[in-house]
Amino acid sequence: MVKYLDLERINASFEPELSEAVMRVARSGWYLFGEEVKAFERNFACYCGVKHCVGVGNGLDALTLILMSYVSIGRMRPGDEVIVPANTYIASVLAVLRAGLKPVFCEPEWDTCNISPELLEGLITPRTRAIMVVHLYGRVCRMDEVGEVAVKHGLLVVEDCAQAQGALYKERKRTGALGDAAGFSFYPGKNIGALGDAGAVTTDDDELADRVRALANYGSSAKYVHPYKGINSRMDEVQAAVLNVKLKRLDRDNDLRRCVAAAYRKGICHPGVTIPSGGEGLSHVYHIFTVFSSRRDELRQYLSECGVQTLVHYPIPPHRQKSLSDYAFLSLPVTERIHREELSLPMSPLLTAAEVQTVIDAVNAFPC
């Protein structure tokens, strides 16, 4: 069987360094606010090419803390609007709501599945303060075009980089350094994954970084001094130690993902299956390899019978979720079509050539 994502195999490939890192922390007697987190924050800021990285508890908190901090430092007000892609994981939308702001959904482009910069201006109102881009499936959004709209209208750009660690935009700058602030998730299955939950905020903005750090630690400016109403969202020492080990291999692993993607693109040839365009150069890190089929559920069942495990990202769009019923009136046909037709093929830096071929052969053998 070809697993969708074999995390056991991935984590085993980091041994013995991974277990040594975990044991080093276990034996140290120091589990929060220590040297491992400091080192990871330095390493990751340097890797992304930004001044600040703040380790936090998870990706949702990273995004929430960015927006809460903008409100806290007076750059946004409760009820202000943030444009978010309609085609995203629900966390992007929940972050906006948790910060007391209002999400405004923007349709994606069919070909890239990412926010359509051409549609942004039509959504801007006097209360719009920011555009949140999500580099979905590991593909970088069209940041030059998004940036132009943001500058023209004085909007902030927040990146959701949960699925795009290490992607390079136009061979120039990495995700995490392409907007005013960025949120990362290190959920175990992401391109760089912890052994549990972890996340980070990256930014060049000193004031924002300070406020994120304070709000993530009960809104404190010094021990037991709390000028702001904060939350508790920390990256712990074990996860930081794990991420320090894994970060060193991120570029190599992303290259291996690109090789798998190239093999899929070359090998898959079926009239009922389409593949979104690959984007340029290193701007896609293939967190997820997406194909589309109008017979997605049948294809999924067929692949499963062939021993190929797949997933759907995602079966229900945010505006169709019960929890977001306020937005159920929206008609977002591109988003809805992506959710009907998307299928995610196995993707990992450690897929073998034989496994990749098994997937290709199975897709090509899907009866028309």
Pairing of strands 168-169, 173-174: antiparallel
Contact 246, 14 (CB under 8 A): yes
Interface segment toward ligand PLP; rule CB under 6 A; list 27-35, 57-65, 265-273, 304-312 = 57-65
According to the binding rule CB under 6 A, does residue 59 interact with ligand PLP?
A: yes
- Residues from 174 through 213 that contact ligand PLP (CB under 6 A): 185, 187, 197, 199
**Closer to ligand PLP by Cβ: residue 196 or 267:** 196
How far is the C-alpha of 336 from the C-alpha of 209, rounded, in Å? 36
Could you tell me which residues are beta bridge partners of residue 276?
A: none
* Residue nearest ligand PLP by beta-carbon distance: 59
Task: Kindly state the smallest distance separating residue 158's Cβ from ligand PLP, in Å.
Answer: 12
**Closer to ligand PLP by Cβ: residue 72 or 191:** 191
**Closer to ligand PLP by Cβ: residue 51 or 98:** 98
Contacts of 128 (CB under 8 A, 6+ apart): 80, 81, 82, 83, 104, 153, 155
According to the binding rule CB under 6 A, does residue 60 interact with ligand PLP?
A: yes
According to the binding rule CB under 6 A, does residue 318 interact with ligand PLP?
A: no
How far is the C-alpha of 29 from the C-alpha of 279, rounded, in Å? 46
According to the binding rule CB under 6 A, does residue 89 interact with ligand PLP?
A: yes
For residue 69, what are its two tokens?
Answer: 């901090």
Phi-psi region of 34 (alpha: psi -120 to 50; beta: other; left: phi over 0): beta
- Residues from 241 through 300 that contact ligand PLP (CB under 6 A): none
Task: Kindly state the smallest distance separating residue 66's Cβ from ligand PLP, in Å.
Answer: 12
User: How many residues sit in the footprint of ligand PLP (CB under 6 A)?
Assistant: 15
Strands ordered across the beta sheet of 199-203: 52-56, 199-203, 181-185, 156-160, 128-134, 81-85, 102-106
How far is the C-alpha of 42 from the C-alpha of 178, rounded, in Å? 18
Which position among 5, 21, 37, 91 is part of the footprint of ligand PLP (CB under 6 A)? 91
**Closer to ligand PLP by Cβ: residue 235 or 362:** 235
Mask for 136-175, x = binds ligand PLP (CB under 6 A): ------------------------x-xx------------
Q: Give the C-alpha distances (Å, rounded to integers) separating 212 from 31, 66, 84, 183, 200.
A: 20, 6, 21, 11, 10
According to the binding rule CB under 6 A, does residue 338 interact with ligand PLP?
A: no
Interface segment toward ligand PLP; rule CB under 6 A; list 6-14, 87-95, 117-125, 333-341 = 87-95
Interface segment toward ligand PLP; rule CB under 6 A; list 30-38, 85-93, 233-241, 250-258 = 85-93
How far is the C-alpha of 326 from the C-alpha of 316, rounded, in Å? 15
Task: Kindly state the smallest distance separating residue 138's Cβ from ligand PLP, in Å.
Answer: 10
According to the binding rule CB under 6 A, does residue 88 interact with ligand PLP?
A: yes
For residue 329, what are its two tokens?
Answer: 């009136």
What is the 3-class SS of 330-348, one letter each residue? CCCHHHHHHHHHEEEECCC
Binding residues (CB under 6 A) for ligand PLP: these are 58-60, 88-89, 91-92, 134, 160, 162-163, 185, 187, 197, 199
